[in-house]
Amino acid sequence: MKPRIFGIENEYGMVFSPTGRVYLPIEKVIGYIFEGLIPNSWPSNTFLENGARFYQDTGCHPEYATPECQTILELIVHDKAGERLLESCLPAAETRLREEGVSGFISVFKNNTDSLGNTYGCHENFSMNRHVDFWNVTEQLIPFFVTRQIFAGAGKVMKVNGHPHFFISQRAQHIHEKTSSSTTSSRSIINTRDEPHADAEKYRRLHIIVGDSNMSEFVTYLKVGTTAVVLSMIEDGFHIREFQLDDPVRAIREISRDPTLKQKVKLENGQELSAIEIQRAYLERAQAYVDAGREDGVAKDVLQRWAKVLDGLDDDPMSLTRELDWVSKRHLMCSYVEEKGCGWDDPRIAMIDLQYHNVQRSKGVYYLLERHNRMDRMVDDQAIHNAMSTPPQSTRAKVRGDFIRFARAKNRSYTVDWTYLKLNGYWEETILCMDPFKATNMRVNELMEQLPASARWS
């Protein structure tokens, strides 16, 4: 694939279930989660030794932003590492609660809506060349993102006029604009805030806030991979202009409401097409782009999987229970309703809906399916475990991780952001890291040489 930096930010939902009389607000509970990752402190914004950012976002949600990655598989590994890090904090956090006389369990969910109808996001990031026409790219991407949910949605039961209804996407009903610079008050399909976290003269960041958080590794691979190929295609002049939607916001909601995938949406030219038909048009154009020799084997693999999924969705969506989150979840719910003879408003259906996203592998429904070999995987557990403490080795995340390891080993106060590293106090020093592709820094190498070998590679 064209050299590109990838990143995913996930905001997690949290629930505290007391087993005694004392209930703690989530604001307090989050403090114990942070203690598990950053001993003896409660920061609102911190970077970890694996290069990722962990912080408390709006609405008391812990948010994990992956380090910069250059491959999709590497991105999946680090996205899953975020789940594992949060999971690893839970036992110690619950122990601290008991020490303070509070008994209960903390649950963390990788989803996008709570029981009150609030939403929180999953944001995808793709580096772009600053000199590419950003608005031209985004206009051609909007129909793709509106319809991508048919394989990228996480699924959700929500009420319509008081009656339960299954939606393909959790985020679709919360989208209000085509484009916007806001991520909260006017959520959009594409976020236009120009915040490159890199050299602004060379790079721009495509910030996508329309997607769902996914448990399925296959879905993450497909949604990021297809987006990367389509983005490269448009950047290189393989345009696809004839599928502009008449009302993208209305279209994204209509598509989400129809798990049969028969719903057609109106284009600006008056034509009406289904989401599958629009996705096939992007696939055909992307195939022509790849056949022209503009992409590599990874792109070809993405296109093969994309075609297979669209064929499956067209024939029988339930044939994709191993691959797609929303299909797997809906299949579980349909089976449960049939077996128990209950309605879709049964509290146990709501529990399946929620527990599918539980990151605690001993409790999460997704992980139950995974243990029984009912979900396709793209990466292995050892790689995920390594990513909990080791940054990608081909991006500036390695420089950041090395710097943090040095500062902690030397007990030095430090400040870190995406583009700079700073040693505070006496002999204060700031190191700029403006190129996200650059995995080495001479000054950080010099600092690391001050550490014993065991500390450098731990």
Annotated catalytic, 57? yes
Residues 393, 439: contact at Cβ < 8 Å? yes
Supply φ then ψ for residue 399, to 5 degrees: -60, -45
Total number of residues shown for the chain: 458
* Structure-block tokens of residue 259: 């798990």
Q: How far is residue 383 from each of residues 76, 121, 331, 391, measured CA to CA in Å?
A: 10, 25, 30, 11
The residues near 194 (Cβ < 8 Å, ≥ 6 apart) are 200, 204
User: Contact 146/248 with Cβ under 8 angstroms?
Assistant: yes
Sequence-distant (≥ 6) Cβ neighbours of residue 193 within 8 angstroms: 181, 182, 183, 207
Inter-axis angle of helices 347-355 and 325-340, nearest 10:
150
Decide the pairing of beta strands 177-180 and 188-191. Answer: parallel
Q: How far is CA 51 from CA 145, 209, 435, in A?
A: 28, 22, 15
Catalytic, out of 57, 79, 212, 325: 57
214: left (phi over 0), alpha (psi -120 to 50) or beta: beta
How far is residue 348's CA from residue 330's CA, in Å, rounded to a whole number? 13
Nearest by Cα to 208 from 171, 173, 244? 171
In the chain, the amino acid numbered 201 is E
Burial of 3 (0-12, 13-18, 19+ CB in 10 A): exposed
DSSP 16-45: EEESSS----HHHHHHHHHHHHSTT---SE
User: Which residues are paired to 415 by β-bridges?
Assistant: 422
Q: Which two tokens stand for residue 309?
A: 């999924």
Strands 6-11 and 104-109: unpaired
Q: Checking DSSP bridges between strand 45-47 and strand 53-57, what pairing results, if any? A: antiparallel
Amino acid, single-letter form, for residue 425? G
Could you list the active site residues? Answer: 57
